[in-house]
Structure 1
């Protein structure tokens, strides 16, 4: 059921994903084909805000720290896994893999590689502060308009 907490959580975490993606894009090689990278990451931010942070709004401000960081982690994991899977499918269509086992293993290797690529102090700080602030603001609106 739509609530103000879900709406605000989706907007805030979608915005956090959009902004963080802007910080990540310069880390990729100059001619890397990113396609709809920013839009996909924003979608996962919306999903995390709607399904993880929004339903928990109203549990208190201490819990807001927790569910803000939980929404942040779920957003990052969903985006990393999806983007790694897309790269794997593109590479498998180019016949890069010898078999399906190698392709699945490579998804997890790309997951780790992409996570290490974005593990800069600026991006981690933005995500952590954004997750906590997003949780607190979601809590505020969830309490006031529920």
Structure 2
């Protein structure tokens, strides 16, 4: 059921994903063609905000802060997982892997590599601040527009 809390959470976590993506791009090698990387992460953020954060609104300020942090954490996990899957599929089509298990292990290897790249203070601050703001705004939207 759509409500204001889900909409606010989706918008704010989507914006957080977009801004974090813009900060991640300069940290990667210059030879990478990002394409719609920031837009994909914004879409992941919209889905996470709507499905994870929006339904957990209305439990108080402490729960709202935890909700925002968990929304940002889920944004990072889903983003790392999906982009790692795309990277693995791209390499699998070029016959890089000897079997299914080595291809599946590559997903987690890519997640670890990309996760280490994300350990930049600007990216972490953007995710923490965006999650905090999204959690509190989601709680406010739930209390104001029921």
TM-score category, normalised to shorter length: over 0.9
Per-residue deviation, 1:64 = 0.5
Distance 2:108 2:96 in 1: 16
Aligned to 2:121: 121
Distance 1:95 1:50 in 2: 37
Per-residue deviation, 1:38 = 1.2
Aligned to 1:2: 2
Query: What pairs up with 1:1-146 in 2 under 5 angstroms?
Result: 1-146=1-146
Per-residue deviation, 1:33 = 2.2
Gaps in structure 2 of 5+ consecutive residues: none
Please list the CA deviations of residues 78-116 of structure 1 after superposition, one character each: whole Å capped at 9, or x if unmatched. 110000000000001111111111111011000000000
Distance 2:122 2:50 in 1: 25
- The ranges of structure 1 where at least 4 consecutive aligned residues each deviate by more than 6 angstroms after the TM superposition are none
Distance 1:126 1:115 in 2: 15
TM-score normalized by the length of structure 2: 0.97
Per-residue deviation, 1:35 = 2.7
Distance 1:52 1:130 in 2: 15
Gaps in structure 1 of 5+ consecutive residues: none
Distance 2:45 2:77 in 1: 11
Distance 1:21 1:32 in 2: 14
Per-residue deviation, 1:28 = 1.2
Distance 2:58 2:21 in 1: 29
Distance 1:49 1:126 in 2: 16
Per-residue deviation, 1:39 = 1.5
Distance 1:5 1:34 in 2: 31
Per-residue deviation, 1:57 = 1.6
